[in-house]
Structure 1
Amino acid sequence: MLDFAPTEEQEEIRKLAASIANDHLRPRARHAESEQDLPAELKLTLAQTGLTTPFPEEYGGSGPLEAVTYALIAEELAFGDPGLALNIIGSLMGPLSVLLAGSKQQQEEYIAPFCAPDTGYLQRGSLAFAELGGGYSPEAIHLLARRQGDGYLLSGSKRDVIHGEQADLRIVLARLEDSDQGPLCAFVLPSTPAGLTVRAEQQKLGLLAAPSATLLFEETALTGSALLGEPGNQGALRAALLYNILRAAIACGTARAALEYCSAYARERVAFGRPIVSYQGIAFIIAEMAMKLDGVRLLTWRAASAWDQGEVADHLLRDVECARRQAIKIAQSATTDAIQVMGGAGFMQDHPAEMWMRAAAAME
């Protein structure tokens, strides 16, 4: 049987991420939601830990991490706050996509600025994945990149692009040539390409601390050098799968936060002379939350382990999709159940449960 127990090194990294989540993310969650962004001092703190520079040391990074390790990190960050976790992970996916799909020259050009000692923590990346009318599945990507001379023309749309309005490095996933089933490729967007309309998504239900945008492409012209790596390489698909694994981990962290918070509340809240956790109607809800969370965490770790093996096969696509869908489903049910356990208090902003429920609802 496969053993998904963290190694000693992974456990140390997990503990570091947990301390950041508890000491910095959770206390700042409400303020970050009102400001709709990650505080600059928190970016610096994260950069100093090396958690936001998982890139080769030759570019100034702290060394590449495995998907399993970063799934542990993403879950802990989301335990602090899912919006801030998605803000951090969404920014990382820009340079990580370059690392996975780009050439050596492109890696040197686009990754090094994120590792600069004095200014790297201020850099933002983004990965345009989901499309209007579609979800976070590689099969749902239909943005077309048609060849025109030495360059490409992009036509289509992207939604829910974290940092899509203000990123220093914007990567977009598209299908090459004129077929919805063409190879998946990744392109670097220049700062202001003609034919691109960017609309900030400000009226979101949740995840407000992760600013996002909609991108509309109307025959947007890109140079040939905008394509990351060689046409048809698997780097773009691996980037998409990694993003889904990390989004699943964020959903697990959200569910765990709701579980632990409502469990503590149920132990302290007294009704009819005893803690409400002693009543079966409450205890059964909490027990089911814990059971489902353990199951979906295992799915996420299995998908991450398969990703780390390097081969893109059908079972990897299936495992990643299953983990993402189930993790979001569990996050949505767990946060809703947490409010049910807490009763009217769950809807009050004195408690974070309502914020987590809105975040889980916005993860689709």
Structure 2
Amino acid sequence: MFDYLLSPEALALRDEVREFVKAVPRQLLIDMDNDKVQFPKEFLQEAGRRNLMGCRYPRAWGGRGLDWVTTAMVMEEVGVLGYIMACTFGVGAELVCDAIILHGTDAQKEKYVKPLLKGELFAAECLTEPRGGSDFFGTNTTAEDKGDHFLISGQKRFIVGGEGADYFLVYARTDEEAKPHKSLTCFIVDRGPGVTVEYLYGLMGCRGGGAARIVFDRVRVPKENIVGHLNGAFAVFNTMMIPERLGTAAMTIGAARPALEVATAYTTKRRAFGKTINRYQGVSFQVAEAAMLLDASRSMIYATCRAVDEAVEPARIRRMVSESKKFVTEACQTVAEKSMQVMGGIGYTTIYPVEKIVRDLRLASIWTGTNEVMSLIIAGEWYDEQAAARKDGRTRDCETDAEEAFAADEKIL
């Protein structure tokens, strides 16, 4: 942890989060991985009682008025419990809350944000559909205008927290004729008549988070439950990509950290050929690389969090968030795999938690936008930035520094 980047208030909060993490029963984690617990309500209720969720939101709505750097620290520490624990912690308190805080009305914040941050209600975001994931504008869920309310029909899948949620943040099509970015609306949909948990997914890892397919069958939703504006879901989606992807990256660090800690302790005790195996470079160099990747991941996360806190230009934030999500999730998967490798066969067993960490972290580069989508965003923003820099003459033209830079007929013009 980079203590020197945290304020005294953030350091005190870190101690609170660590005490909470230490208090979570190991049996809960085991039962979730064995699908005996479908959604950890008690975990979220206790987090709410301790006022640990949504720390960057205003105190008036149940937060602590802190910043994104502090939020990243909290997500890392919660991630130590396992990736799915951080997922369920973050989906409501860092995703759904974010949309309502930034785009919702005070009445919505009072009704939905306050009780969620207290652990009294649970929420889930409904974005992915059976025929579309990364294609946000391809949604087939519709909302039919009935005057004072809408009737929402459609399906959403892979909804983390879907089994336990009391309400859902749902994107639906409200204008079939409009251009894609003006055709969708974001709604708060309460669990009730017409809302059905159709299916719970069997997962390779990250079990126990209630990942479900949700069916909406002509669900009556009052117009006051629109988040933002009619046909204005794109603005909500744009801002939510920050907590969705930056939060995912931050918590991945915490979920990978125990694998390296366990491997470090194991390799200082396991002996082979007369000495502990950490004395062999084949082992210690892999541990060193894993430690380097964790620190590099934190550096990227904290730099990006500071950029968001300072509200730098949106295009730069979009690139940095996408880079963080891609780099950190892939780096942390490498950390977990190297930790298993240096432990040998025992790391592949359920004697140690490393095999579970490897399984869980495989999700990190898939959800909240695949890492291939992150590459598309990074490339697009990078080329745009470079074109603008060349046009404005803000940087040295290093192309002319080659000895034969002006050779005739050799350059692409």
TM-score class normalised by the smaller sequence: 0.7 to 0.9
State the superposition RMSD in angstroms: 3.0
Runs of at least 5 residues in structure 1 that lack an aligned partner in the other structure: none
Q: 1:357, CA displacement in angstroms?
A: 0.7
Q: Which residue is 1:125 aligned to?
A: 123
Match of 2:352 in 1: 351
Q: Is the 8 A contact 2:144 2:152 kept in 1?
A: no
Q: Read off the aligned partner of 2:108 and give its amino acid letter.
A: Q
Partner of 2:110: 108
| Farther-moved stretch of structure 1 (335-344 vs 87-96) | 87-96
AA at the equivalent of 1:148: D
Query: What is the letter of the counterpart of residue 204 of structure 1?
Result: L
Within 2, Cα distance between the matches of 1:324 and 1:140?
18
> Identity of counterpart residues, as a percentage?
25
Contact (CA 8 Å) 1:245, 1:320: kept in 2 or not? yes
Residue of structure 1 in register with 2:91 after alignment: 90
CA gap of 1:342–1:185, structure 2 versus 1, over 3 A, is farther
CA distance in 1 between counterparts of 2:248 and 2:33 reads 19
Q: 1:75, CA displacement in angstroms?
A: 0.5
Aligned-partner Cα distance in 1 for 2:221–2:214: 15
Instruction: Return the TM-score normalized by structure 2.
Output: 0.75
2:157 corresponds, among 148, 155, 159, to 159
Aligned to 2:157, the other structure's residue is in SS state strand
> Structure 1 pair 173/259, CA: closer, same or farther in 2 (3 Å)?
farther
- Asked if 2 retains the 8 angstrom alpha-carbon contact of 1:26 and 1:80, the reply is no
1:89-238 matched pairs, under 5 angstroms = 89-92=90-93, 93-114=95-116, 120-132=118-130, 140=136, 142-143=138-139, 148=145, 150=147, 157-173=155-171, 177-178=175-176, 179-182=179-182, 185-192=185-192, 194=194, 198-216=197-215, 222-231=221-230, 232=232, 234-238=235-239
Given that 2:333 and 2:358 are in contact with CA atoms closer than 8 Å, whether structure 1 keeps it comes out as yes
Larger Rg: 2
Aligned residue for 2:229, secondary structure, equals coil
Contact 1:129-1:158 at 8 Å conserved across structures: yes
Q: Which residue does 2:264 correspond to in 1?
A: 263
- Cα distance in 1 for residues equivalent to 2:32 and 2:143: 40
Give the structure 1 partner of residue 30 of structure 2.
30
Q: Distance in 1 between matches of 2:159 and 2:40?
A: 19
Is residue 126–residue 171 contact of structure 1 (8 Å, CA) maintained in 2?
A: yes
Cα distance per residue 1:81-132 (max 9 Å; x no partner): 22222121123233332112201222122223335xxxx4242111223444
In structure 2, give the amino acid aligned to 1:94: V
Q: Distance in 2 between matches of 1:157 and 1:295?
A: 39
Check conservation: 1:185, 1:237, Cα contact below 8 A: no
Distance 1:312 1:128, change over 3 A: farther
> Could you tell which deviates more after superposition, 218-227 or 158-167?
218-227
Match of 1:64 in 2: 65
- TM-score w.r.t. the length of structure 1 is 0.84
Q: Compared with structure 1, are the counterparts of its residues 4 and 174 closer, same or farther at alpha carbon in structure 2 (3 Å cutoff)?
A: farther
Q: Could you say if the C-alpha distance between residues 184 and 22 of structure 1 is closer, same or farther in structure 2, counting changes exceeding 3 Å? A: farther
1:73-84 paired onto structure 2 within 5 Å? 73-84=74-85
When residues 52 and 362 of structure 1 are mapped into structure 2, their CA distance, relative to the original with a 3 A threshold, is same
For structure 2, which runs of at least 5 residues remain unmatched after alignment?
A: 367-413
8 A contact 2:39–2:164 mirrored in 1: no
Please tell me whether residue 50 in structure 1 is matched to residue 51 in structure 2: yes
SS of alignment partner, residue 5 of structure 2: coil
Q: For structure 1, which segment, 139-148 or 239-248, has the greater mean C-alpha deviation from structure 2 after superposition?
A: 139-148
Q: What is the CA-CA distance between 1:77 and the residue it aligns to?
A: 0.9
Residue 303 and residue 188 in structure 1: after superposition, are their counterparts in 2 closer, same or farther (change >3 A)?
same
- Residue by residue, what CA displacement relative to the aligned partner does 1:30-70 show, whole Å, maximum 9, x if unpaired? 234333356555444322321025453334x2433322211
Q: Whole-Å Cα distance in 2 between the matches of residues 132 and 330 of structure 1? A: 29
Say if 1:41 and 1:168 are closer, same or farther in 2 by CA, change over 3 A. Answer: closer
Find the aligned partners of 2:166 and 2:273 in 1 and give their Cα distance.
57
Q: Is the deviation greater in 305-314 or in 253-262?
A: 305-314
Which one is further off, 250-259 or 185-194? 185-194
Q: Indicate if the aligned counterparts of 1:128 and 1:159 stay in contact, CA closer than 8 A.
A: yes
Would the aligned equivalents of 1:50 and 1:62 in 2 still touch at CA under 8 Å? yes
Segment drifting more, 39-48 vs 5-14: 39-48
Q: SS of the residue aligned with 1:268?
A: coil
User: 1:327 offset after TM fit, Å?
Assistant: 1.8
Pair 1:358–1:10, CA change in 2 (3 A): same
Paired amino acid for 2:338: D
Residues 142 and 174 in structure 1, CA contact (< 8 A), matched pair in contact too = no
Shift of 1:167: 0.8
Q: Which amino acid aligns with 1:345?
A: I
SS in 1 for 2:254: helix
Change (3 A) 1:26 1:17: farther
